[in-house]
A and B are shown apart, each in its own frame.
Chain A
Amino acid sequence: MDEVIKIVGIGLVALILIIIIKQYRPEFAIYISIISGIIIFFYAIDKLTNIIDLLKQICNQSGVNNKYLGILIKMTGIAFLAEFAISICKDAGESSLANKVELGSKAIVISMSIPIIHNLLEIILNLMPN
């Protein structure tokens, strides 16, 4: 409960600062939005660590290959970083640049998931009668 009040407060304060600054210097407004995003993420990071630890523990108990969970978590990190950059680009009005960042991150995520897809296809091929 304490955390959410802090996060909402930071968001609203940053919003007011951005609205004030934007009339005079639009480039500083982008800086404020970047910094407020980073601060809010640092408040959320403790909870995220707990969630990831729980996922790893469940994965170990159920005997699923640990490699796949690692890939999944890495993809989440890439998606988070890419989303951070994409939303800042869109806020600054550069949606074409945002699309390029999105395309790049999508390509990286798909290239990381290739081992999983390969395994799946191999299993299907093994199941099929010759």
Chain B
Amino acid sequence: MNVDLLFKIAAVGILVAVLHQVLCRAGREEQAMMTTLAGLVIVLTLVIKEISSLFDTVRTLFSL
């Protein structure tokens, strides 16, 4: 486990926030929503991998 993942997610969040602001100002509300959705899905794929590894580890540790 490393802390890089934390920074990666934070970077995606900041990037998506900036893109959302810029696209909103440019009057492209729909594309702004699409970028938000894409960022959300990307981070979700990152997080789900870790959650599954957490479940596996707990299962082996506590012999569930």
Contact = CB atoms under 8 A, between A and B. Distances in A.
Physical interaction between A and B: yes
A77 to B, nearest CB: 3
Nearest to A40: B1
A31 B58 contact: no
Contacts of B1: 38-39, 42-43
Chain A contact residues: helix, strand, loop or mixed = helix
B26 interface: no
A27 interface: yes
B14 A77 contact: no
Q: In the complex, which range does the number of interface residues on chain B fall in?
A: 20 to 34
Contacts, number: 96
A24 B17 contact: yes
Interface in B18-64: 20, 36, 39-40, 43-44, 46-47, 50-51, 53-55, 57-59, 61-64
A92 interface: no
A100 B64 CA distance: 21
Interface residues of A, number: 34
Given A25-B39, A28-B16, A70-B63, 18 more contacts: A17-B6, A21-B10, A24-B17, A28-B9, A28-B12, A28-B43, A31-B9, A32-B6, A34-B47, A34-B50, A35-B6, A36-B6, A39-B6, A41-B57, A42-B1, A74-B63, A77-B64, A84-B54
20 contacts: A17-B10, A27-B40, A28-B9, A28-B10, A32-B13, A34-B50, A35-B5, A35-B9, A36-B6, A38-B1, A39-B1, A39-B2, A41-B54, A41-B57, A42-B57, A43-B1, A73-B63, A74-B64, A77-B58, A78-B62
